[in-house]
Structure 1
Amino acid sequence: MSTAIYLNTARLGLMLPRVQRLYGDFLKFTGDEVSSLYFDKFIYFGFESLPNKIQKIYPFLSDWKGISNFKKSLKSILSVPLYATTDAKILLANRSCQLMKLGANLLFLKSQKVLTTDLEWPQYKAILKQQKEFLGGKIKTVDLRSFILEDNCTREDLISRVISAYDKYDCDGLFISHITFEGFRLPVEDIVKIITSQKKKPSFVVVDGSQSFSHSPLNILEYSDFYITGCHKWLRAWHPMGLAFCSQSNSVEFITTIYRQMLEKGKLDDPLLNFTNQLELGSNSAFTETVNLNSLFSAAAAVANILEGNQSMEQKFKKLVEQVEKLEAVSINYHWTPLVKNDSLKSGIGLIKSTKPSIRALTPKQLRASFQSHGIDLTAYGKGIIRISAPIKELDINDYQLFHKALDFCHS
Structure 2
Amino acid sequence: MYCEQFFRDGTVDWSEDKRLVFPSLAHWHGLRTFKTQIARRFGVSSPEFVLLANRSAQLVRLAARLMFRKCRNVLTTDLNWPSWQNIVCDEAVRCGQRLTNSQITPLVFSDQASADDVNERLAQAFTENGCDGVFLPAVTNLGVRLDTSSLLAKLKANGGLRFAMIDSAQSFCHIASPAPLPFADFTIAGCHKWLRGSLPLGLGICGRSIVAEQFRDMLASTPSLFGIDDPLLRFSEQIEHQAVDRYSETVNVTPLFSGNAAIVATDSGEAIVAKQACKRTANAELIRKSVPTRLWQPVETDTSMNSGIVLLQSKSHNIVRSEPNVVRSKFLEKRVAISAYKGGLVRLSAPESIDCQMIESLQDALVSVA
TM over 0.5: yes
Q: Is the 8 A contact 2:35 2:47 kept in 1?
A: no
What is the letter of the counterpart of residue 360 of structure 2?
Q
- 1:399 and 2:358 matched: yes
8 Å contact kept, 1:114–1:139: yes
In the alignment, structure 1 residue 344 sits paired with structure 2 residue 308: no
Q: 1:94–1:273: 8 Å Cα contact kept in structure 2?
A: yes
What whole-Å deviation, never above 9, does each CA across 1:271-326 have from its counterpart, x for those lacking one?
11111222344312111111111000001011101248896111111112222221
Unaligned segments of structure 1, at least 5 residues: 1-34
Question: Could you say if the C-alpha distance between residues 225 and 301 of structure 1 is closer, same or farther in structure 2, counting changes exceeding 3 Å?
Answer: same
Percent identity between matched residues is 29
2:4/2:239 contact within 8 Å kept: no
Q: 1:356 to 1:300 in 2, by over 3 A?
A: same
Is residue 386 of structure 1 aligned with residue 346 of structure 2? yes
TM-score (normalizing by structure 2): 0.93
Measured on the aligned residues, the alpha-carbon RMSD in Å equals 2.2
Gapped regions of structure 2 (runs ≥ 5): none
For the residues of structure 1 that align with 2:245 and 2:190, how far apart are their CA atoms?
27
Q: SS in structure 2 opposite 1:92?
A: strand
Q: Distance in 2 between matches of 1:298 and 1:87?
A: 19
**Secondary structure at the residue paired with 1:304?**
helix
Instruction: Check if 1:286 corresponds to 2:250.
Output: no
Moved more, 357-366 or 208-217: 357-366
Query: 2:35 & 2:338 partners in 1: Cα distance?
Result: 32
TM-score, normalised via structure 1 length: 0.84
Q: How does 1:353-368 map to 2 (within 5 A)?
A: 353-368=313-328
1:274 counterpart (234, 257, 271): 234
Q: Which moved more, 1:383-392 or 1:116-125?
A: 383-392
Q: Is the 8 A contact 2:53 2:231 kept in 1?
A: yes
C-alpha separation in 1, matches of 2:282 and 2:176: 16
2:192 and 2:198 in contact (8 A); partners too: yes
1:65 aligns with 2:24: no
CA change 1:310–1:103 in 2 (3 A) is: closer
Residues 167 and 188, structure 2, Cα contact 8 Å, conserved in 1: yes
C-alpha distance 139-262 of structure 1, shift in aligned 2 (>3 A)? farther
- 1:260 matched to 2:220: yes
Q: Which of 25, 36, 44 lines up with 2:8 in the alignment?
A: 44
Q: In structure 1, what is the Cα distance between the partners aligned to 2:216 and 2:268?
A: 32
How far did 1:264 drift? 7.8
Matches within 5 A, 1:10-21: none
How many residues are paired up?
A: 369
* Whole-Å separation in 1 of the counterparts to 2:77 and 2:96: 19
Structure with more relative contact order (C-alpha pairs < 8 Å, separation 6 or more)? 1
Aligned to 2:196, what secondary structure does the other structure show? coil
Q: Return the alpha-carbon distance in structure 1 between the equivalents of residues 137 and 89 of structure 2.
A: 16
Secondary structure of 1:175's counterpart equals: strand
Deviations 1:7-29 (A, max 9, x none): xxxxxxxxxxxxxxxxxxxxxxx
- Give the aligned partner of residue 274 of structure 2: 314
